[in-house]
Amino acid sequence: MERFHSCFVAAGAKYNLSPTLLKGVALTESSGRDYAKNVSHHLKTKTVDVGLMQINSGWFPLLESR
């Protein structure tokens, strides 16, 4: 998780969040694995959760438009 420390600090500063909180979310969501993928709900929702913070693929169109 140390290799992501500067990302947590930068995102925390930008969004007024604790870097420790962001690290905790990453540890909870993906156990710190940046290539984690959760497909357990894919058949029901047609989405998957990906990455360190387990962002749901349903958000990709909105995020790509920004």
Specify the CATH number for the domain of residue 34. 1.10.530.10
Range of the domain at 31: 2-64
List the structure tokens of 20.
């420790």
18-59 pLDDT, tens per residue? 999 999 999 999 999 999 999 999 999 999 999 999 999 999
With H, G, I as helix, E, B as strand and everything else as coil, classify residue 55.
strand
Question: Could you give the number of structural domains in the chain?
Answer: 1
Determine which helix (DSSP H) or strand (DSSP E) holds 37, and give its type and residue range. strand 37-38
Mutual angle of helices 19-30 and 5-15, in 10-degree steps: 120
List the structure tokens of 19.
């870097």
Given pLDDT bands bounded at 50, 70 and 90, which one contains residue 1? confident
Instruction: Give the predicted TM-score (pTM) of the model.
Output: 0.86
Q: How far is CA 41 from the centre of its chain?
A: 17
**46 CB-near residues (< 8 Å, 6+ apart):** none
